[in-house]
Amino acid sequence: MTANLINILLLLVAAMGGWLFWSWRKQEEYAKRHILHLCKGESLQFLDLSRVKGKPVWNRGLAWQAEFSFGFSSDGETRYEGTIYMVNLKCVSKELPVYRVPQEPSPEPERGYNQW
């Protein structure tokens, strides 16, 4: 009888681990979707995404709160680090550092009508 109970407990632990892994991956996909939308709207280049930390919280029920760090570039040369905070699949806040906005190249000056 105890061997069956241990097997059931091991199965429950494995199922809980699989569910947590699946939930974390889904949360990471939603975080990436939010960041890509942000980068597209601000004309930034998305570089990478990583989970910094996460913990269970009670927010009108059990929820998973996570902090993600992401890299982006505004000019293709400089790397900046931003942070996004998620509760389950919802973005609750974002933090972007001050970044340099590249200037448009100035047009060539006109040289007159004798351009050879």
pLDDT in tens, 56-114: 888 788 888 999 999 999 998 899 999 999 999 999 999 999 998 877 766 666 665 65
pLDDT in tens, 18-62: 888 888 899 999 999 999 999 999 999 999 999 999 998 887 888
| 2 vs 108, higher pLDDT | 2
CA distances for 54 relative to 14, 57, 88, 98, angstroms: 20, 9, 10, 26
β strands within the chain, DSSP E: 45-58, 62-73, 80-87, 90-95
Strand, coil or helix: what is 8? helix
> How do the domains of the chain map onto residue ranges?
2-95
Q: How many CB atoms lie within 10 A of CB 68?
A: 23
Question: Contact, 79 vs 73, CB < 8 A?
Answer: yes
